[in-house]
Structures are given as C-alpha cells and as structure tokens.
Amino acid sequence: MRELVQQLNVPRQRSLPFLRHLYVVGIVALCAALAGCDKRTAAVVRSNQPVSGGTLIYATDREPTCLDPHVAGDMPQVFIAQQYLDSLVSMDGEGHIGPWLAKSFEVSADGLDYTFHLRDDVHFTDGTPFNAAAVKANLDHMANPKTQSSTAGGYIRQYRSTDVRDEYTAVVHLATPYAAFLEVLAQGFLGIESPTALLRSRDVNCESPVGTGPFKVVRWDRQSQVELVRNPDYNSAPPTAKHQGPAWLDKVIWKFIQEPSVRFASLQAGEVDVIETVPPESHEAARQNPDLSLIIAQRPGNPTNGTLNITRAPFNDINVREAFVRSADIDGALKSVYFNEFPRAGGVLSSATRFYSPDFEHAQDYDPAKAAKLLDAAGWSKRDAEGYRTKNGKRLQVHVVMGNRTPPSEFTLWEQVQATTRQAGFELIVDQMSDVQATKRQADWDYDIRLGYWNTNTADVLRIIFSSAFIRPAGVGGYHQNTAGFSDAEFDNVVQQALSTQDPELRRSFYYQAQATASKQYLQLTTYPQSTRLGIYKTTQGVRLETSLAVTYLYDAWVNK
C-alpha cells in the first residue's frame, strides 16, 4: 500500500471516455506577442509536428528508494519505470486489455491458465532477447519473497508457475481464478525487466534496472537526478502510443526538487520542462501564464483516506464510525487547504476506476445533527467540562498516526477534521512520529486512524484493502494491507466471485455490492482522489499520461528549444 508520504500539498490520461477525469488548461503563445515581453528573447515557434532530438528536464518531488518497481512498489518508482520498461499487455482508455510485448493471449475456461504469445523481435537494452523465459524470470522475481515486493508481488499472490512451452509462448498457471490478472500486468509496477540484469544483486538492479522500453537508465546521482537516454533500437510501443519506433527525445533528466515553490518557479523560468505535483495554490497562476499548460487527472484506485481501526474501541461500534465520518467537514477543509482544487472523494473507489459507481459519493456527507444522534444512541451522551463526549467516565478519544514524511498540507487537513469532529464531541489526537515508529504502530494495530491511499487500475483493490485474507493478526507483527481489520465472509465471497468471471457485467455487479458493503460499514473517511498534476513549459509538447495508472509518459514527447 502506498502510504501518504507524497508532497500532496504541492498535489489517467485516457482516450475520450475518460476525459471527464482530465482537464488540460493553458494557452501557448509566442513571447514576442506578449505585452511587456523582453524584446531580446527569441520567440520559440512551436510545431505540431514532432521534433527528433533534444533533452527534456523533468522535475518531481520524491526520489525513489529503488529504481526497480518490482522491489517494494511506490508511485515514484512507477513514474520513472514507465519510461524504460514495457509491459506484457496494455490497457486502453476504456479499461480494455490489448497487446504489447504479448501479441495475443488466451485464458482457460477455469481461469487458472493464461497463455501468452510473445513478440519475437524485441531485445532488452543489454542485448538479452525478450522471450518466454524472460516472462517466467520476471513473474518468479516478483513472487519471490526475497525481492520484497509489496506491490507487484502482492498483486500476483495467485501466481503458481510459468511453463515455457516454446521460445515465444509462455503459459502462466494460477492457484485460483484471478480476473484482474491482465489488468495488473498492464501496470508499470509489473513491467518486464531483463532476466540477465535480474541475476545481479537486488541493490545493483535497484541502481540500474534494464528494460526493453524507449529509454534506458544510464546514471543515478542520489538526491539529485536520474539520467535516461533514448533506446535507438526501440520497436515495441504499445497500441495506445501516438507513434512507433524510437522516442523523439535524445535524453531525459529526471530531477528531484522536493520544495514545491522552487519546483514551480523552475518551471516558470523555463529551467525545467515538466514538473510533477504542481502545488494546488499554483494552479491558477499556471492557468493564467501563457507559457504554461497543465495536465491534471485522477488516478484510479482507493482515494486518499483515513482508515478506521475497527478492531478496538471506539471504532468497533459502527454508530461511532458513522458519527465520526458525518462530523468531519471534508468539503470545507478541502476548499480551505487545497484552494478548492481537489474534488471530494466520497466513495471507496476513485471515479477513474473501472467499475466505480457514483451511487456512494454522498454516503459520507457532513451531517453533524445525525452524528449527534448516533453518538447518543451509542451511549456517548454526556460531555465533560471541555465539551468532549464521555461514556462510563471515559472520554471519546481517537488517535491518528502520522509519520514524519506526512505532508504539511495533510496535517493541516486533519487539523480541520480535528476542529469539526470536536464540535460533535470527539477528541481527535494527532500523533506525530518518525516513519519507523509509525510503521511499528501500524504493525501492532496501535492506532485508531491510519492515513493512506492505494493507486491501482483495478476495482480488485477492494479485496486488497478490506478482505480478511489481507489481515495480519495482532502479535504477529509486520505490514497488513487491510488496516481497517474488517472481516466479513459475505464481502470476501463477493470480491472473490468478481475474480472468478471474465464477464464485465458480472464483475460490475459484484464490485457494486462490494462498494455498497464497504460504504455502509464506514471503514474509511475518504477525502480526495489521488491525482497526477503536471505543469508543462511552452517549449515541450506531446507529454501524455499512460492509460493504466495515469502516470507520466514521455515516449511521445518532444522539445522545441
């Protein structure tokens, strides 16, 4: 699970049906046409025709801990991995699966065997041929506990083995039906790496992973930048790309600039070409600047949230859970903290997720009167001298755990939650600590609210975050993905049935039931959808978002400098 450690205070490009999740703003103009422009500055003529060559400088807030997305699995890894890795299959703007490194595929009637017919003309950038043995090496690598893959490995828990039927035919065997298998294979987290490179130590492969993609990693200067150069032999672009053959750019410099104001100022000055996580307070300035444009898109999956620990009091009482959710004025907080730039996420799935239903968007609407009635019914009817509700002499107190990488804006958001829930009688205490301490608190189930989100291109995220299979009991220790502690046999059955059929309408029905159950149980206080927010300088064109996770895709980009 991706914890809330992004610079969210500084916050999928799809084909046409997904444009409701995307808006692109900004007008590109020639400098010479602007009033007050420095006449000595040469006008840059932007062409709609791609230009080959040049260097694009990209700036983001967070540096990966490892460049190999199979290891661990956090968003900074997949953003950069999308530039040098190809995937076995592709996902289009409708959520349909298509070819990529696999030319075609078949699924057995029982959903346990996936046969992939592979391209025979692709090589990794270290010269290793791509073939069925490479597919087997990659899936084995993701599933190997020594890889410590919390994301890719977690997505393929059903994986059993791969048979190499012939050089370009791989048959993957699963232990149980898994209809989301092709969906997760389309993500960059499960991108295909050179089996030769995977034989190196984990640390070496973290430093310089090798793919078949349009760029290759040549250097990583820690705390500064990663340098990628064009793969001149690239011939395996997905069908969702805008062209085929090598990338237009010669080079990409992937810089790490943590401070949001510095990152945005660098974009305004043209010192960098693209920045990630444009600060919400800078959105309007970017819209008004003719030199800049924005790409903003929701990411699919589970939105940003505070998950409630229902294994202990007071959130083991559903009335208290609903009362807490109803007493938090999230809409007001979002307007204040994020300048009204972040929409409210009221359900457990982001609206960019396939099989999302809007029917649950208002299940968490602010309703302090209802919250008061629920608390009275739960026996928290008295108030102490400070106005907090009490029961049997005990104050209604809840703790939210925040590691030291929690963004300041998220802290401010929860301060506002603290203020509005106090009116209802909750004492919300924010426990700030090191990330190590926060991780231990999570492992020990020693929290009432845990902040997080989960970016993924499948509604199967509901199983990962709420099914009993992902609960690690107290006392065992270690990370548990179901941080609510929710255990319900009927819910488990529904999400499993959704994996047992390839029929999209049946899957939609099952995921509707799962959303309804999670919503009615008030397992999370959802706040806003995760989003990709790119700022682009006028000399850069063709920047896109890939179609599974809405992360940056520079293969089709070019620069006019």
Per-residue pLDDT reduced to its tens digit, 49-100: 999 999 999 999 999 999 999 999 999 999 999 999 999 999 999 999 999 9
- Residue 352, pLDDT above cutoff 60: yes
The pLDDT confidence band at residue 48, using thresholds 50, 70 and 90, is confident
Write the pLDDT tens digit of every residue in 132-181. Answer: 999 999 999 999 999 999 999 999 999 999 999 999 999 999 999 999 99
Q: What is the DSSP string of 344-401?
A: ---SSS-TTSTT--GGGTTTT---HHHHHHHHHHTT--EE-TTS-EEETTEE-EEEEE
The pTM assigned to this predicted structure is 0.90
In one-letter notation, the amino acid at residue 71 is V
pLDDT of residue 25: 38
The residue segments making up the domain with residue 470 are: 301-529
**Quick one: average pLDDT of 184-188?**
98
Same-domain pairing of 287 and 354: no
Confidence of residue 508 (pLDDT cuts 50, 70, 90): very high
Confidence at residue 292, expressed as pLDDT on a 0 to 100 scale: 98
Closest listed residue to residue 350, CA positions, set 266, 436, 454: 454
Tell me what pLDDT residue 20 has.
34
Contact at 8 Å (CB) between 481 and 154?
Answer: yes
What value does the mean pLDDT take over residues 526-535? Answer: 98
Is the pLDDT confidence value at 45 over 90? no
pLDDT at position 477: 58
Reported confidence tier of residue 475, pLDDT bands at 50, 70, 90: low
**Cβ atoms < 10 Å from Cβ of 437:** 15
Supply the pLDDT for residue 92: 95
Helix 318-326 and helix 368-377: axis angle, to 10°? 160
Are residue 40 and residue 135 in the same domain, yes or no?
A: yes
Number of structural domains the chain divides into = 2
Question: Cα 552 from chain centroid?
Answer: 12
Answer yes or no: do 381 and 317 share one domain.
Answer: yes
Cα 94 from Cα 371, distance rounded (Å) = 39
Read off the pLDDT band of 23 (50, 70, 90). very low
More confident residue, 18 or 248: 248
Please, are residues 280 and 9 in contact by the beta-carbon 8 Å criterion?
yes
Q: Name the strands in the sheet holding 531-537, side by side, starting at the edge strand that comes first in the sequence.
A: 22-25, 292-298, 531-537, 274-275, 55-60, 251-256, 225-230, 215-221
Whether 497 has a pLDDT exceeding 80, the answer reads yes
pLDDT range class, residue 515, cuts 50, 70, 90: very high
Instruction: Determine what percent of the chain is predicted with pLDDT higher than 90.
Output: 89
| CA nearest to 521, candidates 314, 321, 371, 328 | 321
Burial of 250 (0-12, 13-18, 19+ CB in 10 A): middle
Query: Which residues on adjacent β-strands are paired with residue 115?
Result: 106, 171
Q: Please state whether the peptide bond connecting residue 239 to the residue before it is cis, i.e. omega within 30 degrees of 0.
A: no
Same domain? For 21 and 107 the reply is yes
Res. 472: pLDDT tops 50: yes
Task: Examine the domain organization and report whether 197 and 338 are in the same domain.
Answer: no
Indicate which CATH number applies to the domain containing 436. 3.10.105.10
**Does 13 score more than 80 pLDDT?**
no
Mean pLDDT of the chain: 92
**Length of the chain as a residue count:** 561
Burial label for 368, CB within 10 Å (0-12, 13-18, 19+), is middle
Three-state DSSP at 42 gives coil
Residue type (1 letter), 207:
E
What is the reported pLDDT for 39?
Answer: 31
pLDDT at 7: 36
Quote the tokens at residue 45: 């003529």
Question: Do 275 and 375 have their domain in common?
Answer: no
- Pair 487, 522 in one domain: yes
37 and 165, same domain (yes or no): yes
Residues 503 and 458 in one domain: yes
Task: For residue 133, give the DSSP letter.
Answer: H
Question: Cα separation of 322 and 324, whole Å?
Answer: 5
* Structure tokens given for 278: 């444009």
Longest dimension (CA), the chain: 76
Measured CA to CA, the distance from residue 291 to residue 37 in angstroms comes to 12
DSSP string across 251-310: EEEEEE---HHHHHHHHHTTSSSEESS--GGGHHHHHH-TTEEEEEEEPSEEEEEEEE-T
Q: Are residues 552 and 509 in the same domain?
A: no
Burial of 188 (0-12, 13-18, 19+ CB in 10 A): buried
Task: Give the pLDDT confidence score for residue 277 in this predicted structure.
Answer: 97
**Average pLDDT over every residue of 223-230:** 98
Average pLDDT for 440-446: 94
Shared domain check, 549 and 523? no
C-alpha 398/C-alpha 317 separation (Å) is 13
Dihedrals phi, psi of 391, to nearest 5 degrees: -150, 125
3-state helix, strand, coil in the chain (%, to 5): 30, 25, 45
One domain, residues 255 and 403: no
What CATH number is given to the structural domain containing 189? 3.40.190.10
* pLDDT at residue 35, rounded to an integer: 33
Beta strands in 29-158 (DSSP E): 55-60, 89-91, 97-99, 102-107, 113-118
